[in-house]
Amino acid sequence: MIVTKQKKLDEIIEKIKGSVFIFGCGICSDTSRTGGRKEVEAMRLILEDRDIAVEGTYVIDAMCHFQKVRKAVRDNKEVLSNAGTVLVLSCGSGVQSAVGVLPDTIKIVSGVDTVFLGNIENLSSLKEMCSLCGNCVLNETGGICPVTLCPKGLLNGPCGGMKNYKCEIDENLDCAWVKIYERSIIQDTIKDIKKIAKPKDYSVKKPAATLRFTGSHR
């Protein structure tokens, strides 16, 4: 899921012109506690307390889904037309769904910062395990990502700073490369990590990628 954190309130309010319609996202922003029903309602109360009129609110299943955003816009057409600003409490992808669907004349404000792709450890802990590098090395590193979990992103490790299996950058962190070695021994894939990894091909991480499916799809 995409992890987000709320922007500073004054930063959001400064961008708002006129009255507001608030969109939330019922999946990632809900789990991040930045834009689910509860946070959308809290934002409504805060804005009204600052004398900013809120025309309406709507939490979409997934703000990153263009068709769902189109439907939400259709369902709220009248009330949206009264709003001077549409405030979106979802990741940058969701904000741009709104930008893509709503007319260019409507001011759209993002209420959160998009932080990382996170694994859900439990309801109060989200952990970054993949940085979406576009050139995955997990098959060579025992299924553990050095790009994300080693603070230096080393493809050949561990570095000389590893001490007592801990990371030199943060002694509370296990060294990612120790974990990679340990798991590779268990998996009998140690030969893979003994090869010197070549510099990563970041050219495959093209900006603004689009993945198109072929054949039947949902």
Q: Which residues bind ligand SF4 (CB under 6 A)?
A: 130-133, 136-138, 145, 147-148, 150-152, 154, 157-159, 161-162, 167-169, 175-177
Q: How far is the CB of 143 from ligand SF4 (least distance, A)?
A: 9
Residue among 17 and 127 whose Cβ is closer to ligand SF4? 127
Residue among 123 and 208 whose Cβ is closer to ligand SF4? 208
Residue among 100 and 161 whose Cβ is closer to ligand SF4? 161
Cα 111 from Cα 87, distance rounded (Å) = 6
Q: How far is the CB of 104 from ligand SF4 (least distance, A)?
A: 34
Q: How far is the CB of 152 from ligand SF4 (least distance, A)?
A: 4
Q: How far is the CB of 184 from ligand SF4 (least distance, A)?
A: 14
Q: 3-class DSSP state for residue 15?
A: helix
DSSP 51-90: T--EEEEEEES-TT-HHHHHHHHHHTHHHHHH-SEEEEES
Hey, which bits of the chain come out as E strands? 2-6, 20-25, 54-60, 85-89, 107-110, 112-122, 125-128
Q: How far is the CB of 142 from ligand SF4 (least distance, A)?
A: 12
Cα 98 from Cα 109, distance rounded (Å) = 10
Tokens of 92: 């940058």
Residue among 81 and 156 whose Cβ is closer to ligand SF4? 156
Residue among 33 and 166 whose Cβ is closer to ligand SF4? 166
Tokens of 205: 């991480």
Q: How far is the CB of 218 from ligand SF4 (least distance, A)?
A: 24
Contact 35, 99 (CB under 8 A): no
Cα 83 from Cα 132, distance rounded (Å) = 36
Contact 47, 79 (CB under 8 A): no
Residue among 58 and 116 whose Cβ is closer to ligand SF4? 116
